[in-house]
């Protein structure tokens, strides 16, 4: 399955408007059929720049935000990436097109199971999945070259920052108030953590696992 020409044109317009300029990011997103990753009732909106509900009080981010966060990671095909919050697997699939291996964690098992089916259908063999508490990261696989968090943290998560390799980058939405969240790019440089703001956003909150939902 591939993105149709009409949907590809819509996607490129959305990405340009969002400020996504890296050719490799655009190409990766063109290669992932977003309609596979949204509920069937919203398929006609798959390429609109809107956030869509996916159940379990979760959402799939709008394409523009996916593009901005992916671009901020500065990915190469040598990178080992941790994704906190698999969701439907859309961001996972985009990452898989750009890096060596993706380790992705999702606390809602039904969402993860559906995401795994989509990832298998697209024959993305460099993705490792795990059901669990993403706030703890994946210490058995640390350190990571890149970390992306797809839910908003109150502050830069120290546990996740501690799993960044020297020279690594983490991209995470930060903010207590849903109306005042910012995508932050965190760098581990010479053992020091630095941060820069990318743009304002709205995300569901990053919360520890509290059992089955």
% of the chain exceeding 70 in pLDDT: 94
Query: What confidence tens digit (pLDDT) does each residue in 84-94 have?
Result: 999 999 999 99
Task: Note the pTM of the prediction, 2 decimals.
Answer: 0.92
When pLDDT is cut at 50, 70 and 90, the band that residue 1 belongs to is low
CB 89 within 8 A of CB 119: yes
**pLDDT of the residue at 184:** 95
Identify whether 40 is a catalytic site residue: no
Mean pLDDT of the chain: 91
One of 2, 27, 40, 61 is an active-site residue; which one?
61
- CATH superfamily ID and name for 5-201: Vaccinia Virus protein VP39 (3.40.50.150)
- Full DSSP string of 56-114: TTEEEPPHHHHHHHHHHT---TT-EEEEE--TTSHHHHHHHTTSSEEEEEES-HHHHHH
Q: Is 212 a residue whose pLDDT tops 50?
A: no
């Amino acid at each position: 399955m591939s993105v149709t020409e009409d949907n590809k044109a819509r996607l490129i317009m959305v990405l340009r408007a969002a400020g996504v300029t890296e050719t490799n990011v655009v190409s990766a997103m063109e290669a992932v059929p977003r309609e596979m990753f949204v509920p069937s009732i919203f398929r006609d909106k798959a390429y609109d720049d809107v956030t869509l509900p996916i159940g379990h009080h979760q959402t799939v981010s709008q394409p523009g935000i996916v593009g901005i966060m992916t671009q901020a990671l500065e990915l190469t095909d040598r990178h080992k990436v941790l994704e906190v919050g698999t969701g439907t697997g859309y961001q996972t699939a985009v990452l898989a097109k750009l890096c060596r291996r993706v380790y992705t964690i999702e606390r809602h098992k039904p969402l993860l199971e559906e995401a795994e089916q989509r990832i298998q259908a697209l024959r993305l063999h460099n993705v490792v999945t795990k059901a669990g508490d993403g706030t703890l990261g994946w210490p058995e696989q640390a350190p990571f070259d890149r970390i992306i968090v797809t839910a908003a943290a109150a502050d830069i998560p120290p546990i996740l920052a501690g799993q960044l390799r020297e020279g690594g980058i983490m991209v995470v939405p930060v903010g207590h108030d849903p109306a005042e969240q910012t995508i932050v790019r965190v760098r581990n440089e010479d053992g020091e953590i630095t941060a820069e703001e990318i743009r304002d956003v709205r995300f569901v909150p990053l919360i520890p696992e509290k059992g089955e939902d």
